Amino acid sequence: MTRAAIIGGGVIGGGWAARFLLNGWDVSIFDPDPDAERKLSEVLKNARASLPALYDKALPDEGKIHLCSSLEEAVTGADWVQESVSERLELKHKVYAQITPFLAEGVFIASSTSGFKASDLTAQGAPVAVVHPFNPVYLLPFVEISGAAELASKAVKIITDLGMAPLVLHKEIDAFIANRFQEAVWREALWMLKDGIATTGEIDDAIRMSFGLRWAQMGLFETYRIAGGEAGMQSYIEQFGPSLAWPWSKLTDVPELDADLISQIAQQSDEQAAGRSIRDLERLRDDNLVAIMRGLRRNSSGAAKPVLDHEAQLPSGGYHDGLPITLRRAVPVTWTDYNGHMNEAAYLEVGTWATDGLMKYIGADADYVASGKSFFTVDTRIRYLDEVHRGATVMVTTQVVKGEGKKMHLLHRMFKQDGTEYSLVSTIETLLLHTDLTTRRSCAPEPHILEALTALAEAHSQRPAESIGTAVGQRP
């Protein structure tokens, strides 16, 4: 599958376009809004700066995008059709009636609806399944799927291939799963505002500084299970279950959204924004999400797992200028400093992961380390030759300068990519000793590791190794 049609290029449609485009799909969009192209370009700018930063491998080459003048043009020949028009059932049915005649065989309509059941959407005979994402679609992995089993199965495959985490509903229900939770919190928040208990800013602080962070990586039930201590979930329920009968919340009721309450919410929200534009807030949100989700990578927790599963499918390795490519990735915002460019520590981290890549190349992979042997760094020298900014794709090649006995002497060259051109931005010289992880003392590598390392050293022996052995401040 290579081409997606996006019907409606607003917040959700634009997010879908970015998700498909940055995963190598060509995208055709239909949106009658005369300002659609500008809005879409701004969403894509944010997506390009954030989604690749979740990965430690480069995403596929970006697809091509085309704004269409009609539904027919957008849908004809598409392998996937994502409908993201306004939440009006009559409008959706009208759009489906225009789309259906142009669908390729086996293609159905995936609806981004936030609340309509699949049976509502298919009531007039169109082939539709609910494929409901969360904003920003290009970053958040969760997708709720509902509808005919055959369509749901097809949707799960595509959504998973986009690096997302699909959940197929067991039963049809209005607003699905996650939105019903959001609505419950929203109702309670409205009562707190109405009753003068807290402001919009105070309510948001209560969420983002406490249970919001816990929910982001563990959800509800696992969080409560831990709260029960060593006795687990049963203990928690025995202790806190009775509180469900206490009058803590007003979830069975909701205040009327009259003019006064709407004005109060709008005013307090404006005060919260403190003059920051929507785009400023989006960039702040995206940077925060990248930082949080990258933080979750270490233990493959929460939203990091589909990223890691997707990353494992992305290609790696290869050669550049006759040397093995040991790392290729985008520079995330978490690697940048107050000047907006990659900081010194990040260059060292690049060298660390490139060394790890070379170790895997010679067979000293995770299984080898688990067996009790590895290489430990004893000396490193970095030359900083050019600035690298967030979002740039960097590639590292590794030359084995020496591979004999216990020693592994490497020269990493880091390049930044500009289209098909590469420019050298750093060299990282590092010396490592093979070590027994049990005794914490140096030792000879296993024969197959030493053989592979020696072969690389011999193959690279005639290549120049600029800056090797020079002191700080000396020019090679």
Q: Spell out the per-residue pLDDT of the chain, length 476, in tens.
A: 699 999 999 999 999 999 999 999 999 999 999 999 999 999 999 999 999 999 999 999 999 999 999 999 999 999 999 999 999 999 999 999 999 999 999 999 999 999 999 999 999 999 999 999 999 999 999 999 999 999 999 999 999 999 999 999 999 999 999 999 999 999 999 999 999 999 999 999 999 888 998 888 888 888 888 777 887 777 777 777 777 677 677 777 778 878 898 888 888 988 988 998 888 889 898 999 999 999 999 889 889 999 999 999 999 999 999 999 999 999 999 999 988 899 999 999 999 999 999 999 999 999 999 999 999 999 999 999 999 999 999 999 999 999 999 999 999 999 999 888 999 999 999 999 999 999 999 999 999 999 999 999 999 999 999 888 877 777 76
- 249 Cβ partners below 8 Å, 6+ apart? 188
Tokens of 99: 């789309």
DSSP classification of residue 208: I
Tokens of 178: 């996650």
Tokens of 259: 């003019």
Strand order in the sheet with 165-168: 65-67, 26-30, 3-7, 80-83, 109-111, 128-132, 142-146, 165-168
CA distance 166 to 160: 7
CA distance 381 to 429: 5
pTM for the complete prediction? 0.84
- Distances 326 to 177, 351, 355, 376, 463 between C-alpha atoms, Å: 42, 10, 7, 18, 18
CA distance 178 to 11: 18
pLDDT of 224 reads 80
Contact 382, 344 (CB under 8 A): yes
Residue 467's region, left for phi above 0, alpha for psi from -120 to 50, else beta, is left
Tokens 């995963």, located at residue: 23
CB atoms within 10 A of CB 17: 31
Please state whether beta strands 3-7 and 80-83 pair in parallel, antiparallel, or not at all (unpaired).
parallel
CB atoms within 10 A of CB 284: 11
Label residue 106 exposed, middle or buried (CB < 10 Å: 0-12, 13-18, 19+): exposed
Query: What's the alpha-carbon Rg for the chain, to the nearest Å?
Result: 27
Measure CA of the first residue to CA of the last residue in the chain; give whole Å: 50
What sign does the dihedral 434-437-441-443 (CA atoms) show? Answer: negative
pLDDT of 258 reads 86
CA distance 84 to 89: 12
CB atoms within 10 A of CB 324: 21
Tokens of 206: 């209560």
Helix axes 178-194, 259-273, angle to 10 degrees: 100
pLDDT of 5 reads 98
DSSP classification of residue 56: S
pLDDT of 244 reads 67
